[in-house]
């Protein structure tokens, strides 16, 4: 067997250095030379080299030693960036939005915290390659629907199994914080029907949340006591929902609170403080700018976005959604950018571009899709910047990846040199000149036009 | 009116020295003309709402508003060929054929969406009937003259009539695949049915037209000639057959796109723009040969099965194969950055600047039949212009001002935050109202796709609503 | 003898005969003549008699003047301290017609081709078949001073044909003074079937109108000479359009916002309809359009609720807030959020004020208008009228809207709208000037029939201690 693989490797080394010919992602030793490296953690390196071995970056700099046998990628005139991280998507959980059988985000019931998104991720989702060829290498994918819809996970966008894709072991419990005033003035046409009482509904939802949390605390106490010394004790009741909440109570797992409206954010801040939860992040936060001072004061990190959205109120300035994250950052809130997308997570880069243009600035926007989220999720030892020892999640481009005129030329995830291909590219290649393989002329309608 | 007359009129105007609200002079811009290249350090003069001069150091008529455009980019106002803004209602989804209804009747000039589109450089929208029906209602082309309460003031006067058709999953879901509730399903439930609804409607329209032509001939000599029963639905079908109405057809799959070209060929209907047309790239040569146009998304896909096999390279493939292609929004969110949507074609297919920009200017103008009036910066065209900080195809570009007929309707620095023309006198204020995001396929909260979204559970209740 | 005979003749001819008239259940009527003496009489806006007498017999006003001969058999009402006005006329309402119950409707097999009934297209439906004098709304309206209403059926797009009715009578026919006077129309779509949307309604109306024109012409041709002609198609809905096409019947188009006004006027111009526009809830945005079109209008007596946040605030503070509004707010960061909220509140008050001042704006623009209670809760009518007056509508203009103008629009000027000899005895007697807070309505006469309203003053806690007639 070893002989066979050695032969394959030997054969591989004779192949010219064209990314497109070898359609299989491979780890190995690579050196991207003479490129402009945006490390994010430590500024820009002009004419630098990045060396990758296995799944790690082993060297970054101007005069670095390139291991023998490394595949060279000439980065002259090119840029290297850390792979982008999207802090909120449903990538891999939905194949075709309107076909319910292909949508695994929303389980039956309001209280299903134990539903594990990672389980439902389809590593072969067509949208995954479509996303990564735009330079996004890691995403948070989240369940949705009820009050506690499940547990989100961080995944790298390359892998044949969920375990291979799971990034940094990151899981977060999702809490859809109850919303005051229902949907406000935003009308989705739902026919007539009985008048709803938003205040009563809100109170019911908050009561429910508090009841769940109180029980979860008790559950945890019981479980801990039983685990410490089971002798003489009846076995505790089994509640998988509560098992899923336990790690949040102990602070071992992050709670991701999905909240958007001004009043709801304030209520959520109060609630997490009352419950003494410190391992918390807010997600969505579309009105975060209104209470940015309170968020900064509370020290709660926010996964903000999408930027490409309409303002939340008719009275708001037209560019409020673009500027929201910048205003929050100005007030001292720790932020990351989320696209909230399913099939167009690739637009994360453009969300970041708009955030930059409307107040955040390019540097902060870049950080908000790289090192920023990595720090928030506690995986910055491995992700988020181009530094020696970190995972080789990075890409090579011919320009600023936020600009639409930029092309992504090479992609590394977990050190795998992932081919730049996707269904969209395949269709392009096939249909750009559809009939070039044909010898007889094509008859097209109409004959007598 | 020919250009010479216009220029003379403009000169007289200038000499007379009086300026109107529709006069403005842009100084020293980089002018993206679309049809005649990019001009550096160039002035553009608008008089009486018409572009009358393009050149260097234009002499300013006394009292005219001057806009210093140094370092900025001036481009034609963006045209959105698929929108549902400014409408009180979108889908008369109770019947698969509703050619007789028209968006002309439900234009809503109050809609804040008009202002928000102006803030994204859009000056004209083709605001359309929804996609619930095979043959939907007639659409309306509007100019974004935001601030008026009179619907007639936003109409694009002289714009050709257009009508909405829809193929595929939307009409079959709305009409043929109804669920419980005892409400019967009606044809079409399949793509086969869609074709038959089309053919039946055209055939009936043809016979209607012939019956009325026969009557008209007879009535010339016989005072007791009996006119055929009047049917305003078939009247519109006849108008389509006569070539008086441009068809814009919501479609996705390559096979249904070709089906429509076959039907149209049988009835000699030539003017067709395929809207969305996610799979048009698969039949680009056929479309180019027929002279059909396409108005597509930059990158939406996979939200329904019929767009699962699409590619964001659609626009580029179509352009390269000679199909007049535009990029539209079909969204009250996307229409605020159509310049960015068009720019995506540079990543997805390598279109150059001129090609990318043409897809939101002259191409949609052609598809709406208004290319003599708008879509490029040329002498004699309407003063519908938008000024950018930064090149429009850069993600960092920011629209600074937008003009329609020479009147400024959007100014990033001067406009108040709250631009609403009407508010509720009693609703709760200061609350989160909701958002449309880039992935919201409900399109502006008024277009709905499913029968029960259209009519809710209340289809079973009594009729009185007051 | 002759005199006696004359009386018998008169009473025999008048529908309001002595025999039928019983104000209290079993007490016989002794006279059909009333005289209100020494009252301030407002014959019409601008025509006031400071102290005078009005006499009416058998429902007809006999005389009005500073000194009027009081017939020997008159029931005399001491009008000192009171004011007498002409009874109010409601230009469009559903008074007397019970709202239909919300029962589930049968599911429809083909939503594209529903029955006329299901589609809400019933222009032939006569309100006379639905009018009920004992309906609670009749007394509720009368108590506010209304004596006459133009009433139409409930429904959707074309609910039916209206009638002018008095708010008194033992049955519908007795109430109705003019039947089949209007085609009611509104932009209310049928639920779940065609046409459900405003554009569907517009298209359907045009279709019905044009096809009806054709059929009318065919009917005329066929009537004059049927030889060789197929019998023209006919159905009850198209036939109901014939008087509209012949310009004998106006369309009363009820609108609930500014855009509906434009839509209605579009149909009017396109189809050459005679139209009365009612409602115009956002009429402040259509003043110019109405002025140029010259179309008769009846403004809604409805007002939007006050916003909840304003409920606890005193009106002086509210005025201050109103004055503080600026349309130039910039909310840059979280620091500006408080100021934004206050300005939005002010904006809301400014907006509501437009509704309050709308009738005043129409009066100032020189547009004559009537009032309509269509879609308005009757318990709000009085308060709202007072608000309009507080908002700047002169009480003369308000009175005109409720009397003279309404009579003009409905073609009833010959018999009502003012207190002049010969007109119908539709009379209101109040304790003071109309539209003021302390004024109460003491009597309402409908066609000469007296209704007494046991009024309570604001200071009075024990109504039973009050003496009648004060």
Q: Kindly report, residue by residue over C20-31, the tens digit of the pLDDT.
A: 444 566 888 899
- How many C-beta atoms lie closer than 10 Å to residue B346's C-beta? 20
Instruction: Print burial letters for B280-313: b (CB count within 10 Å at least 16), e (below 16).
Output: bbbbbbbbbbbebbbbbbbbbbbbbbbbbbbbbb
- Same domain for B178 and B127? yes
How many domains does chain B divide into? Answer: 2
- Same domain for B364 and B401? no
Whether A185 shows a pLDDT value over 90: the answer reads no
Choose the closest CB to C334 out of A315, A317, A331.
A331
Alpha-carbon span C384 to C305, nearest angstrom: 11
- Same domain for B354 and B275? yes
Q: Report the residue of chain B nearest A359, measured CA to CA.
A: B396
Whether B451 shows a pLDDT value over 60: the answer reads no
Query: At which of B383, B398, B417 does a domain end?
Result: B417
> What is the per-residue pLDDT for A147?
96
Q: Summarize pLDDT for A64-123 with one digit per residue, the tens.
A: 999 999 999 999 999 999 999 999 999 999 999 889 999 999 999 999 999 999 999 999
Residue B136 lies in a domain: yes
Region C370-374 average pLDDT: 98
Q: What's the start-to-end Cα distance of chain A, in Å? A: 64
Region A181-205 average pLDDT: 59
A293 token code pair: 């001072």
Nearest alpha carbon to residue A423 among A82, A132, A109, A189: A132
Residue B41 lies in a domain: yes
> What is the per-residue pLDDT for A448?
52
- How many C-beta atoms lie closer than 10 Å to residue B22's C-beta? 17
Q: Summarize pLDDT for A209-220 with one digit per residue, the tens.
A: 999 999 999 999
For A185-199, the three-class secondary structure string (H helix, E strand, C coil) is CCCCCCCCCCCCCHH
- Partners for B (CB, 8 Å, 3+ pairs)? A, C
Residue B336 lies in a domain: yes
Confidence band for C199, pLDDT divided at 50, 70 and 90: very high
> What is the per-residue pLDDT for A183?
47
CATH code for the domain of B286: 3.20.20.140
Q: How many angstroms away from the CA of A353 is the closest CA of chain B?
A: 6
Whether A345 shows a pLDDT value over 60: the answer reads yes
How many Cα neighbours within 13 Å face the side chain of C29? 17
Alpha-carbon span C161 to A329, nearest angstrom: 64
Region A411-416 average pLDDT: 97
Q: How many angstroms away from the CA of C44 is the closest CA of chain B?
A: 34
> What is the per-residue pLDDT for A339?
97
Cis peptide, bond prior to residue A352, ω within 30 of zero: no
> What is the per-residue pLDDT for A112?
96
CATH code for the domain of B403: 2.30.40.10
Q: Summarize pLDDT for A17-53 with one digit per residue, the tens.
A: 444 455 899 999 999 999 999 999 999 999 999 999 9
Cross-strand bridge partners of residue A74: A33
> What is the per-residue pLDDT for A208?
96
Residue B174 lies in a domain: yes
Choose the closest CB to A292 out of C334, C340, C344.
C334
Please give the C-alpha separations between residue B389 and each of A310, B412, C197, in angstroms, as whole numbers: 21, 11, 42
> What is the per-residue pLDDT for C461?
42
Name chain B contacts of C387, Cβ cutoff 8 Å.
none
Please give the C-alpha separations between residue A6 and each of A9, A10, A92, A365, B2, in angstroms, as whole numbers: 5, 6, 35, 44, 77
Give the 3-state secondary structure percentages of chain B, helix then strand then coil, rounded to 5. Answer: 30, 20, 45
Q: Summarize pLDDT for B30-70 with one digit per residue, the tens.
A: 999 999 999 999 999 999 999 999 999 999 999 999 999 99
> What is the per-residue pLDDT for B439?
67
> What is the per-residue pLDDT for C455?
56
Whether A138 shows a pLDDT value over 80: the answer reads yes
Q: Summarize pLDDT for B198-247 with one digit per residue, the tens.
A: 999 999 999 999 999 999 999 999 989 999 999 999 999 999 999 999 99
Cis peptide, bond prior to residue C195, ω within 30 of zero: yes
Residue B184 lies in a domain: yes
> What is the per-residue pLDDT for B10?
55
Alpha-carbon span B424 to B444, nearest angstrom: 19
Whether A279 shows a pLDDT value over 80: the answer reads yes
Region C292-306 average pLDDT: 96
Please check whether residue C214 is in contact with residue B225, taking contact to mean a CB–CB distance below 8 angstroms.
no
Q: How many angstroms away from the CA of A323 is the closest CA of chain C?
A: 10
Interface test with A, best of C191, C308, C329, C334 (most A CBs within 10 A): C334
- Same domain for B367 and B379? no
CATH of domain A20-82+384-421: 2.30.40.10
Q: To the nearest whole percent, how much of chain C has pLDDT over 70?
A: 91
> What is the per-residue pLDDT for C312?
83
Please check whether residue C302 is in contact with residue C356, taking contact to mean a CB–CB distance below 8 angstroms.
no
- Same domain for B33 and B82? no
For B74-83, B182-191, C80-89, which range has the lowest pLDDT when averaged over its residues?
B182-191
Burial class of residue C95, CB neighbours in 10 A (0-12, 13-18, 19+): buried
CATH architecture label of C1-86+417-457? Roll (2.30)
- Same domain for B109 and B44? no
- Reduce the DSSP state of residue B68 to 3 states and report it: strand
Q: Report the residue of chain C nearest A292, measured CA to CA.
A: C334
Residue B446 lies in a domain: no
C458 token code pair: 């604001």
> Domain range for residue B55?
1-76+375-417
CB–CB contacts below 8 A, A to C: 21
What is the CA A305 to chain-centroid distance, rounded? Answer: 12
Whether A182 shows a pLDDT value over 70: the answer reads no
Whether A16 shows a pLDDT value over 60: the answer reads no
Whether C2 shows a pLDDT value over 70: the answer reads no
- Same domain for B199 and B281? yes
> What is the per-residue pLDDT for C14?
43
Alpha-carbon span B306 to B168, nearest angstrom: 8
- Same domain for B124 and B209? yes
> What is the per-residue pLDDT for B361?
98
Domain ranges of chain C: 1-86+417-457, 88-305+357-416
Q: Where in chain A is the domain with CATH 3.20.20.140?
A: 84-186+194-381
Q: What's the start-to-end Cα distance of chain C, in Å? A: 40
Q: Does domain C88-305+357-416 have CATH number 3.20.20.140?
A: yes
Q: Where in chain A is the domain with CATH 2.30.40.10?
A: 20-82+384-421
C80 vs A9, residue with greater confidence: C80
- Same domain for B16 and B90? no
Alpha-carbon span C195 to A51, nearest angstrom: 68
Sequence-ordered list of residues with C-beta below 8 angstroms from that of C338, at least 6 positions apart, any chain? none
- Same domain for B15 and B150? no
Q: What pTM was estimated for this model as a whole?
A: 0.92
Whether B9 shows a pLDDT value over 60: the answer reads no
Average per-residue pLDDT for chain C: 90
For domain A84-186+194-381, give the CATH superfamily.
Answer: Metal-dependent hydrolases (3.20.20.140)
Q: To the nearest whole percent, how much of chain A has pLDDT over 70?
A: 90
Region B260-264 average pLDDT: 96
Residue B51 lies in a domain: yes
Whether B408 shows a pLDDT value over 90: the answer reads yes
Name chain B contacts of A188, Cβ cutoff 8 Å.
442, 445, 453
Alpha-carbon span C158 to C181, nearest angstrom: 14
A180 vs B12, residue with greater confidence: A180
Region A149-175 average pLDDT: 97
Nearest alpha carbon to residue B385 among B368, B417, B409: B409
Q: To the nearest whole percent, how much of chain B has pLDDT over 90?
A: 83
């Amino acid at each position: 067997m070893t002989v066979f693989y050695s032969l394959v490797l030997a054969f591989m080394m004779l192949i010219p250095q064209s990314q497109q010919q070898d359609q299989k992602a491979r780890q190995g030793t690579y050196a991207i030379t003479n490129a402009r490296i945006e490390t994010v953690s430590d500024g820009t390196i002009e004419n630098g080299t990045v060396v990758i071995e296995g799944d790690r970056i082993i060297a970054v700099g101007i005069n670095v030693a390139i291991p023998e046998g490394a595949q060279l990628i000439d980065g002259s005139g090119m840029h290297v960036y850390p792979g982008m991280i999207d802090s909120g998507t449903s990538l891999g959980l939905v194949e075709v939005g309107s076909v319910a059988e292909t949508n695994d985000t929303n389980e039956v019931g309001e209280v299903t915290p134990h539903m594990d998104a990672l389980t439902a991720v389809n590593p072969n989702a067509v949208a995954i390659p479509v996303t990564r060829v735009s330079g996004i290498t890691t995403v948070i994918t989240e369940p949705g629907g009820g009050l506690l819809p499940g547990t989100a996970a961080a995944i790298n966008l390359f892998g044949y199994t969920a375990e291979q894709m799971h990034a940094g072991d990151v899981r977060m419990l999702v809490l859809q914080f109850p919303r005051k005033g229902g949907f406000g003035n935003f009308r989705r046409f739902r026919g007539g029907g009985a008048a709803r009482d938003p205040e009563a509904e809100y109170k019911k939802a908050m009561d429910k949340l508090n009841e769940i949390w109180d029980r979860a605390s008790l559950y945890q106490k019981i479980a801990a006591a039983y685990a410490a010394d089971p002798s003489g004790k009846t076995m505790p009741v089994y509640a998988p929902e509560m098992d899923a909440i336990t790690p949040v109570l102990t602070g071992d797992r992050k709670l991701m609170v999905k909240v958007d409206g001004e009043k709801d954010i304030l209520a959520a801040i109060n609630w997490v403080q009352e419950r003494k939860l410190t391992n918390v992040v807010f997600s969505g936060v579309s009105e975060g700018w209104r209470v940015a001072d309170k968020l900064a004061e509370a020290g709660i990190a926010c996964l903000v976005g999408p930027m490409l959205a309409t303002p939340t109120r008719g009275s708001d300035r037209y560019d409020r959604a673009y500027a929201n994250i910048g205003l929050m950052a100005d007030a001292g809130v720790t932020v990351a950018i989320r696209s909230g997308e399913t099939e167009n997570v690739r637009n994360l880069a453009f969300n970041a571009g708009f955030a930059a243009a409307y107040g955040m600035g390019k540097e902060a926007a870049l950080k908000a899709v790289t090192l920023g989220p990595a720090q928030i999720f506690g995986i910055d030892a491995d992700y988020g910047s181009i530094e020696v020892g970190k995972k080789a999640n990075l890409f090579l481009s011919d320009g600023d990846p936020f600009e639409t005129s930029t092309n992504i030329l090479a992609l590394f995830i977990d050190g795998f040199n992932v081919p730049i291909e996707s269904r969209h590219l395949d269709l392009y290649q096939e249909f750009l000149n559809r009939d070039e393989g044909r010898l007889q002329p094509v008859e097209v309608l109409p004959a007598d036009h | 009116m020919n250009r010479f007359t216009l220029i003379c009129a403009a000169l007289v105007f200038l000499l007379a020295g009086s300026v109107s609200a529709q006069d403005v002079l842009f100084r020293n811009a980089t002018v993206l003309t679309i049809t005649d290249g990019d001009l550096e350090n160039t002035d553009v003069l608008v008089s009486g709402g018409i572009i009358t001069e393009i050149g260097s150091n234009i002499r300013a008529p006394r009292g005219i508003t001057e806009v210093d455009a140094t370092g900025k980019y001036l481009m034609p106002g963006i045209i959105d060929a698929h929108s549902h803004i400014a409408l009180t209602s979108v889908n008369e989804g109770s019947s698969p054929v509703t050619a007789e209804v028209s968006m002309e009747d439900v234009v809503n000039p109050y809609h804040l969406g008009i202002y928000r589109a102006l803030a994204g450089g859009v000056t004209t929208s083709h605001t359309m009937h929804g996609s619930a029906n095979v043959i939907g209602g007639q659409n309306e082309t509007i100019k974004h003259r935001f601030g008026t309460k009179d619907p007639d003031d936003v109409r694009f006067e002289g714009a050709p009539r257009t009508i909405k058709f829809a193929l595929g999953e939307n009409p079959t879901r709305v009409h043929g695949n109804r669920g419980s509730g005892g409400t019967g399903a009606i044809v079409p439930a399949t793509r086969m049915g869609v074709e038959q609804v089309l053919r039946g409607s055209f055939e009936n329209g043809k016979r209607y037209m012939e019956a009325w032509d026969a009557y008209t001939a007879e009535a010339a000599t016989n005072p007791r000639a009996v006119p055929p029963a009047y049917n305003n639905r078939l009247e519109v079908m006849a108008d389509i057959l006569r070539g008086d109405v441009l068809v814009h057809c919501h479609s996705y799959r390559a096979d249904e796109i070709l089906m429509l070209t076959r039907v149209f060929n049988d009835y000699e209907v030539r003017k067709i723009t395929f809207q969305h047309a996610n799979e048009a790239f698969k039949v680009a040569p056929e479309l180019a040969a027929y002279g059909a146009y396409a108005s597509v998304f930059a990158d939406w896909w996979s939200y329904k099965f019929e767009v699962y096999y699409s590619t964001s390279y659609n626009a580029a493939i179509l352009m390269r194969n000679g199909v007049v292609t535009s990029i539209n929004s079909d969204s009250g969110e996307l229409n605020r950055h159509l310049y960015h949507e068009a720019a995506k074609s540079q990543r997805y297919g390598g279109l150059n600047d001129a090609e990318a920009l043409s897809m939101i200017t002259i191409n949609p103008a052609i598809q709406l039949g208004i290319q003599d009036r708008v879509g490029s910066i040329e002498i004699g065209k309407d003063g519908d212009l938008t000024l950018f900080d930064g090149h429009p195809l850069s993600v960092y570009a920011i629209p600074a001002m937008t003009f329609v007929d020479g009147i400024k309707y959007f100014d990033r620095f001067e406009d108040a935050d709250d631009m609403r023309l009407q508010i509720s006198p009693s609703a709760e204020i200061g609350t989160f109202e909701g958002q449309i995001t880039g992935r919201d396929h409900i399109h502006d909260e008024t277009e709905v796709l499913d029968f029960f979204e259209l009519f809710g559970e209340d289809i079973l209740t009594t009729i009185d609503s007051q | 003898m002759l005199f006696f005979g004359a009386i018998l003749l008169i009473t025999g001819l008048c529908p309001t005969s002595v025999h039928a008239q019983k104000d209290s259940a079993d007490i016989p009527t002794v006279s059909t003549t009333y005289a209100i003496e020494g009252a301030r009489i407002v014959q019409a806006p601008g025509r006031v008699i400071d102290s005078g007498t009005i006499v009416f017999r058998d429902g007809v006003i006999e005389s009005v003047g500073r000194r009027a001969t009081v017939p020997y058999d008159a029931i005399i009402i001491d009008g000192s301290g009171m004011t007498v006005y002409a009874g109010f006329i409601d230009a469009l309402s559903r008074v007397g017609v019970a709202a239909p119950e919300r029962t589930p409707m049968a599911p429809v097999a083909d939503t594209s081709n529903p029955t006329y009934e299901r589609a809400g297209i019933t222009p032939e439906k006569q309100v006379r078949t639905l009018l009920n004098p004992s309906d609670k709304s009749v007394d509720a309206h009368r108590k506010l001073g209304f004596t006459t209403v133009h009433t139409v059926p409930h429904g959707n797009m074309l609910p039916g044909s209206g009638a002018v009715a008095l708010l008194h009578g033992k049955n519908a026919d007795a109430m109705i003074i003019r039947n089949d006077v209007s085609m009611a129309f509104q932009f209310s779509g049928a639920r779940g079937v065609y046409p459900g949307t405003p554009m569907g309604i517009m298209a359907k109306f045009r279709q019905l109108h044009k096809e009806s024109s054709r059929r009318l012409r065919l009917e005329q041709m066929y009537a004059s000479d049927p030889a060789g002609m197929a019998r023209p198609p006919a159905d009850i809905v198209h036939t109901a359009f014939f008087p509209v096409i012949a310009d004998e019947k106006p369309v009363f188009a009820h609108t609930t916002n500014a855009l509906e006004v434009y839509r209605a006027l579009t149909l009017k111009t396109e189809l050459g309809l005679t139209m009365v526009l009612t409602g115009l809830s956002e009429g402040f945005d259509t003043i110019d359009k109405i002025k140029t079109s010259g179309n008769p209008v009846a403004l809604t007596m409805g007002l939007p609720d006050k916003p909840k946040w304003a409920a606890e605030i005193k009106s002086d503070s509210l005025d201050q807030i109103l004055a503080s509004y600026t349309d130039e707010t910039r909310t840059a960061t979280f620091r500006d959020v408080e100021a934004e909220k206050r300005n939005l509140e002010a904006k809301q008050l400014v907006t509501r004020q437009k509704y309050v001042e709308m009738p005043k704006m129409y009066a100032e623009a020189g547009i004559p208008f009537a009032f309509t209670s269509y879609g308005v809760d009757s318990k709000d009518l009085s308060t709202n009228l007072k608000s309009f007056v507080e908002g700047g509508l002169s009480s003369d203009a308000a009175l005109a809207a409720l009397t003279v103008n309404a009579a003009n629009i409905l073609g009833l000027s010959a018999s009502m709208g003012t207190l002049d000899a010969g007109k119908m005895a539709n009379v209101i007697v109040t304790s003071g000037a109309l539209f003021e807070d302390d004024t109460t309505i003491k009597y309402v006469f409908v066609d000469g029939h007296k209704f007494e309203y046991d009024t309570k003053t604001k200071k009075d806690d024990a109504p039973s201690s009050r003496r009648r007639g004060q």
